[in-house]
Amino acid sequence: MTSPAAFPNPPPYRRAAPLVIPGVPVTQVRHSRVLQQPLVAPRAGIMLHYDDSSRDDWALAWFDDPRCTNGYTWLALDDGGLAELADPGMRTPHAGACLTKNPNSAYYGLSAATNGLVPVTDRQLATIIATCVALFRFHSWAAASVDVRIVGHDAQAIWTPAYTRAAGIADAAGSKLWGTLGRKVDPTGVRKDHQPILDVAAVRQEVRRRLAPVAG
Question: 157 has which bridge partners?
Answer: 98
Question: Is the separation of the CB atoms in 92 and 109 below 8 Å?
Answer: yes
Q: What phi and psi, each to the nearest 5 degrees, are found at residue 6? A: -90, 5
Q: Any idea of the CA torsion for 63, 47, 79, 202, to the nearest 10 degrees?
A: -160
Check: pTM over 0.75? Answer yes or no: yes
What are the tens digits of pLDDT across the range 154-173? 999 999 999 999 999 999 99
- Residue 22's pLDDT is 97
- Residue 5's pLDDT is 38
- Residue 65's pLDDT is 86
Low-confidence ranges of the chain (pLDDT < 50): 1-13, 216
Closest CA to 102 of 94, 110, 113: 94
CA 56 to chain centre: 17
**Contacts for 33 with CB less than 8 Å, ≥ 6 apart:** 63, 64, 65, 66, 68, 71
Residues written for the chain:
216
Q: Is 162 helix (H, G, I), strand (E, B) or coil?
A: helix
**Contacts for 4 with CB less than 8 Å, ≥ 6 apart:** 138, 139, 140
- Which homologous superfamily does the CATH classification assign to the domain defined by 23-156+185-210? Peptidoglycan recognition protein-like (3.40.80.10)
What are the tens digits of pLDDT across the range 163-210? 999 999 999 999 999 999 999 999 999 999 999 999 999 999 999 999
